[in-house]
Amino acid sequence: MTDQKPTGQKTTAGKSNGRQAAQQQPAAKTTGEKRLPPTVDIDALIDDPKTRVIVCCGSGGVGKTTTAAALGVRAAERGRRTMVLTIDPARRLAQSLGLRELGNQPRAVHADGFDPKGELSAMMLDMRRTFDDMVQAHAGPDRAEQILSNPFYKTISTSFSGTQEYMAMEKLGQLAATGKWDLIVVDTPPSRSALDFLDAPQRLSTVLDGRIIRLLSAPARAGGLGIRKIVGAGFGLFAKVISAIIGGQLLQDASTFVQAFDSMFGGFRERASQTYTLLRSPGTAFLVVAAPEPDALREASYFVERLETDQMPVAGLVVNRTHPVLAALPANKALSAADELDRASRPPLASAMLRLHADRVAVANREKRLLARFTKAHPSVAVVGVSALPADVHDLDGLREIALRLAGK
């Protein structure tokens, strides 16, 4: 398997299956001169046995964690063995599922009134624990102990740039490899870095093949006096310069760590590449989550463009907390009627209701205009709107209600 991310290759797998959530919908609906986007069929998506992974991505504060949890609840109640994996360190997912906390191992969800046809489990990524588990699983006992006790390892396992993305890739691969769950729903971090895990195989390959890593691991690879023949004075100069910058002990810790970790590099890189392949497969669906706000929809556009560039299967856009208006009374007529009632000295309640309706219509029209801009830029991306609830979601009943709205019920 290649270690390089095949971004330059043109394939049809992602595009032919990336719209699977809208596969039973027409390409677009036409109302007069306005073209409406296809609708995301959430139930068709989660019921399809070919759908094995759903990745929810988007900017922060748009209800992404709640969306992931609601999808998990609905999938379990419709008969699928479902796992919800959150990479977001927020605790909202555990609270909504009736759990006190989530850890790095799956926890089954059991709550009063929750008796799904399938099963539901949830977990939250712990970078350090995942890194430790990986070391213990793929290194011998002695080498694992040597790595885990190394001060340099203790530093990079929690703070090294990209560690979270590498470990997210590792954990998703582990869960998928067990075959225990029919569906894995992934809730990603609340920023553009949510897609950084797509780069994990490429970034890891670049790091592992870098000159510094080769120099640090050279003693182990050369063995004994052979080191001089391979790196010669170069390593001595390198060590002297780096020691002056970061200190001799840290350099020694780093060299010892890399030498001990050297035999694991290839295996981790291969597994990350396998998970990347999984993300590009027809069994994966990316749902981009946004709110009907300019910044959130701009971020959503970025996510869609990035996913399509990487040939990732985009299932559609979820627009949370919309404010649809069911009444046909236009805002201007509602305001005119309210003014007439005020002039006639009618009870203020009726005019207040009309003005409230006018405000609601203005908000709904603004949201429609914003969504229309997104649709114009991405006409083939299916969309589903989820109307706002009167209160935040904190329990399974709230998640069920969100799930119903996702499914258009």
Report d(CA 42, CA 384) in Å as an integer: 9
DSSP state letter for 361? H
Report d(CA 401, CA 186) in Å as an integer: 20
Q: Would strands 314-322 and 383-387 be described as parallel, antiparallel, or unpaired? A: parallel
Query: Which comes out higher in pLDDT, residue 362 or 34?
Result: 362
Would you place residue 120 in the very low, low, confident or very high pLDDT band (cuts 50, 70, 90)? very high
**Six-digit token pair at 408?**
């258009």
Q: Note the pLDDT tens digit of each residue in 193-225.
A: 667 777 766 666 565 555 555 555 555 444 444
Place of tokens 């209160």: 391
Q: Note the pLDDT tens digit of each residue in 145-164.
A: 888 888 878 777 776 666 77
- Please answer whether residues 41 and 20 qualify as being in contact, where contact means their C-beta atoms are separated by less than 8 angstroms: no
For residue 121, is it within any domain? yes
Mean pLDDT, the chain, whole residue set: 79
Would you place residue 319 in the very low, low, confident or very high pLDDT band (cuts 50, 70, 90)? very high
For residue 68, is it within any domain? yes
Mean pLDDT, residues 109-129 taken together: 90
For residue 359, is it within any domain? no
3-state secondary structure at position 211: helix
Domain count for the chain:
1
Count Cβ atoms within 10 A of the Cβ of residue 216 and give its class: 0-12 exposed, 13-18 middle, 19 or more buried: buried
Report d(CA 47, CA 398) in Å as an integer: 21
Query: Which comes out higher in pLDDT, residue 312 or 99?
Result: 312
Domain that holds residue 307: 13-212+264-324+379-406
Q: What is the pLDDT of residue 34?
A: 60
- Name the nearest CA neighbour of 212 among 274, 246, 245, 254: 254
**Six-digit token pair at 97?**
């599922």
Q: Is the pLDDT of residue 290 over 50?
A: yes
Place of tokens 């006992």: 141
Would you place residue 96 in the very low, low, confident or very high pLDDT band (cuts 50, 70, 90)? confident
Report d(CA 182, CA 123) in Å as an integer: 16
Query: Which comes out higher in pLDDT, residue 36 or 351?
Result: 351
For residue 227, is it within any domain? no
Report d(CA 1, CA 273) in Å as an integer: 7
For residue 343, is it within any domain? no
Q: Letter for the amino acid at 8? A: G
Q: Note the pLDDT tens digit of each residue in 217-265.
A: 555 444 444 444 444 444 454 444 444 444 456 556 666 767 666 667 6
Contacts of 42 (CB under 8 A, 6+ apart): 21, 71, 74, 384, 403, 406, 407, 408
Place of tokens 């929750």: 114
- Please answer whether residues 46 and 54 qualify as being in contact, where contact means their C-beta atoms are separated by less than 8 angstroms: yes
Report d(CA 252, CA 258) in Å as an integer: 10
Report d(CA 17, CA 24) in Å as an integer: 12
Would you place residue 359 in the very low, low, confident or very high pLDDT band (cuts 50, 70, 90)? confident
For residue 366, is it within any domain? no
3-state secondary structure at position 314: strand
Contacts of 270 (CB under 8 A, 6+ apart): 1, 3
- Name the nearest CA neighbour of 387 among 369, 370, 406: 406
Mean pLDDT, residues 392-407 taken together: 92
Q: What is the CATH number of the domain that holds 300?
A: 3.40.50.300
For residue 156, is it within any domain? yes
- Please answer whether residues 118 and 182 qualify as being in contact, where contact means their C-beta atoms are separated by less than 8 angstroms: yes
Q: Is the pLDDT of residue 325 over 90?
A: no
Q: Would strands 314-322 and 183-187 be described as parallel, antiparallel, or unpaired? A: unpaired
Q: Note the pLDDT tens digit of each residue in 49-69.
A: 999 999 999 888 899 989 999
For residue 249, is it within any domain? no
Count of C-beta atoms within a 10 Å radius of residue 101: 9
The dihedral through the CA atoms of 366, 372, 373, 375 has a sign that is: positive
Please tell me the least confidently modeled range out of 9-18, 93-102, 166-175, 351-360. Answer: 9-18
Q: What is the pLDDT of residue 17?
A: 47
Report d(CA 122, CA 279) in Å as an integer: 20
Q: Give the C-alpha distances (Å, rounded to integers) separating 286 from 20, 25, 52, 153, 179.
A: 10, 18, 11, 33, 20
Q: What is the pLDDT of residue 1?
A: 40
Can you list the alpha helix ranges (DSSP code H) found in 226-293? 227-230, 232-246, 248-279
Phi/psi of residue 319, each to 5°? Answer: -105, 105
Percentage with pLDDT > 90 across the chain: 36
3-state secondary structure at position 66: helix
In which element (H, E) is residue 386 found? strand 383-387
Report d(CA 354, CA 336) in Å as an integer: 9
